[in-house]
Amino acid sequence: MTLRADLQGLTPAPLSAARAAAPAEPGAPPPALRAEGIGKSYGAITVLSDVTLDIRPGEVHAIIGENGAGKSTLMKLLSGHVLPTEGRLLQGVREVAFPDAAAAERAGVVLVHQEILLAADLTVAENLFLGRELTRGVSVDDRAMNRRTAEVLASIGAKCGPRDRVGSLPLAQRQLVQIARALLEPRRVVIFDEPTAVLAGDEVTALLDVVRGLRARGVAVLYISHRLDEVEALADRITVLRDGRMIGTWETAQLSQRDMAEKMVGRALGHLYPAKRGAASAAPLLEIEEISVDHGAVLASLVVRPGEVLGIGGMIGSGRTELFEGLLGLRPAQGGPIRFDGRALPRRSVSAWQAAGLVYLTEDRKDRGLLLEEPLAANLTLQALDHLNPGPVLAPRREAEWLAKAIEEYDIRVRSPLLRAGQLSGGNQQKLLLAKVMLTDPRVIIIDEPTRGIDIGNKSQIYGFIDRLVRAGKAVVVISSELPELVGLSDRVLVMRAGRLVAELSGDEITEKSVIYAATSGAAARGGAAAQARENHTAAQAGTGQGAV
């Protein structure tokens, strides 16, 4: 169904606030946590207003909405990280107040943050027990902590060990450590804020099983995700937020994924992915021959042509990111030659590539892409100062002009141009990062996880930006863990496995089935590709599949 149908009264109406906040049936236990008219304002700016909902024992209640809709603010209000300016919280019939997160945790309410909040220099076990160490007499009982840590890690499918240093772990494993810390002790309410944004494949499957296990044990789960297939598979009820207000609560069976997306954005959605452009035939812009990264852990040759989106697929750990970080000089790499626009480039560094016309958008925009505590203008221009301002002094007026142009061109939603980058929603941070690298007018743009943790509306915009770049004759490389995204965007797909390129797919060969087969078996699939391609393309154009490889 579509939003137009909803406006005609054909889509089921949301549950009323009273019904949405009432027990599921007579005699059922009271909510594990209930919010009544809760909201938050900062001075004259209201970021969340009049939200009423309950979180029931043994239920997964999903909260969905665009970036900036108020989801994370709501989670922080419910878990003691932020104090409300209106409304109240109840556990059972008793009104409660959580002056801080520690008070909420003592009441059995814990938030698993989207951001990684761990001590990088400590081990996994030390992070899990930080501030609540187990002791034997007057000494810390490292053996007991390591044993308990190993049990929790195994229960959620983490591949790291208790003695591993957190700073040495991949981003996905750090997220699983953070989840393990939250689940170390029994909880009444567990709030997940985008828990699978940096996970893929088996890690996602294992985490969803963990959530189902919590529900089966009677724990109340509040779940935020932009992956609407996860919401559909997990949630019992869904609450939609838009522009800081509650739009309604529905039983999950009442809504299709498309209904969810359209209620989030407040309008009917067209096609999510741009029309395919067909195979590019121009001479390559970028040619790589036998580049060896991390002392042979990754070895690959490839070409990138103007006017195409080249997708890079594979499981996390297959070498996708490592390959391009080696190309850019961010990891040790040997081999070659490497040619850009027919010319050999002996130097491999970010600055050398940028000068030649190649830029890279990191998958980790918060830690490696943006300076979150710095103003928007400083973030926008930092990488392009030599290109934009050859003189010794940067004129603030010119910097403000560049920012105003970027805000308009990339539709960066800001209350004020004086904000810090960390004050933007995830989708607007990603658009700022894209605007930042495009200031140098590159010819090849490598984007690692272009829409990680981004809502459906911003995804559609970013896909449109990518299509516009390609149609202007630029080349775009997309590294993505989301299968529908990889299939929907790419003119050609290279699949990696164990540090090697194992398949090249084009045209009707680009299907979810073919990518998965190559990523897991190390060989290209044979037969049935065209039919599967049509099926997947139809599903992708319908709008919201969010599966991951």
Q: Which two structure tokens, joined as six digits, stand for 69? A: 């809709």
For residue 400, pLDDT over 80 is answered with: yes
Q: Which two structure tokens, joined as six digits, stand for 90? A: 């109840």
How confident is the model over 307-314, as a mean pLDDT?
Answer: 95
Q: What is the pLDDT of residues 410-440, one digit of tens each?
A: 999 888 899 999 888 888 999 999 999 999 8
- If you classify domain 1-98+226-269 with CATH, what class do you get? alpha beta
Q: Which two structure tokens, joined as six digits, stand for 488? A: 């929907």
- pLDDT of 18 reads 45
- Provide the residue ranges of all domains of the chain, joining segments of one domain with +: 1-98+226-269, 367-441
**Residue carrying the six token digits 């878990």:** 79
Which pairs from 5-9 meet CB under 8 Å and 24+ separation?
6/259, 6/262, 6/263
**Cβ contacts of residue 6 below 8 Å, gap of 6+?**
259, 262, 263
- pLDDT of 86 reads 96
- pLDDT of 12 reads 59
Give Cα separations from 222 to 34, 47, 77, 79, 471 (angstroms). 12, 20, 13, 11, 42
Amino acid at site 481:
S
Between residues 62 and 4, which one has the greater pLDDT? 62
- pLDDT of 359 reads 93
How confident is the model over 387-391, as a mean pLDDT?
Answer: 66
Q: Which of 64-68, 269-273, 319-323, 381-385 is predicted most confidently?
A: 319-323
| Residue 251, phi then psi, degrees to nearest 5 | -65, 140
Q: Give, for 537, the enclosing helix (H) or strand (E).
A: helix 529-542
Q: Which two structure tokens, joined as six digits, stand for 71? A: 């989801």
Beta strand 358-361 with 492-497: parallel, antiparallel or unpaired? unpaired
Reported as a pLDDT band with limits 50, 70 and 90, residue 166 is: very high
Give Cα separations from 327 to 288, 324, 331, 335, 419 (angstroms). 9, 5, 8, 10, 34
Q: Give, for 446, the enclosing helix (H) or strand (E).
A: strand 444-448
C-alpha span between 12 and 255 (Å, rounded): 8
Q: What is the pLDDT of residues 230-284, one digit of tens each?
A: 999 999 999 999 989 999 999 999 999 989 989 998 877 777 888 888 777 889 9
How confident is the model over 197-203, as a mean pLDDT?
Answer: 77
Q: Do the Cβ atoms of 204 and 229 come closer than 8 Å?
A: no
C-alpha span between 175 and 169 (Å, rounded): 10
pTM of structure: 0.68
Q: Do the Cβ atoms of 75 and 193 come closer than 8 Å?
A: yes
Between residues 382 and 321, which one has the greater pLDDT? 321
Q: Which of 268-277, 350-359, 506-515 is predicted most confidently?
A: 506-515
Beta strand 60-64 with 220-224: parallel, antiparallel or unpaired? parallel
**Cβ contacts of residue 368 below 8 Å, gap of 6+?**
362
In a 3-state reduction of DSSP, which class is residue 545? coil
Start-end of H helices in 410-528: 426-438, 456-471, 483-489, 512-521
Q: What is the pLDDT of residues 22-40, one digit of tens each?
A: 444 556 678 999 999 999 9
Strands annotated E in 75-208 = 86-91, 94-96, 109-112, 135-136, 139-140, 189-193
pLDDT over 70, % of the chain: 88
**Cβ contacts of residue 391 below 8 Å, gap of 6+?**
none
- pLDDT of 119 reads 92
Q: What is the pLDDT of residues 514-545, one digit of tens each?
A: 998 999 887 776 544 433 433 444 344 444 44
- pLDDT of 521 reads 85
- pLDDT of 482 reads 86
Q: Tally the C-alpha atoms within 13 A of residue 512's C-alpha that lie toward its C-beta.
A: 19
Q: What is the pLDDT of residues 467-505, one digit of tens each?
A: 999 999 999 999 998 888 999 999 999 999 999 999 999
Reported as a pLDDT band with limits 50, 70 and 90, residue 49 is: very high
- pLDDT of 426 reads 82
- pLDDT of 537 reads 40
Q: What is the pLDDT of residues 129-150, one digit of tens each?
A: 998 999 999 899 999 999 999 9
C-alpha span between 158 and 151 (Å, rounded): 10
Between residues 52 and 115, which one has the greater pLDDT? 52
Between residues 227 and 395, which one has the greater pLDDT? 227
- pLDDT of 526 reads 54
Mean pLDDT score of the chain: 86
- pLDDT of 337 reads 85
Please name which of 8, 15, 462, 453 lies closest in space to residue 268, comparing C-alpha atoms.
8
Buried b (16+ CB within 10 A) or exposed e, 380-396: bbebbeeeeeeeeeeee
C-alpha span between 245 and 69 (Å, rounded): 7
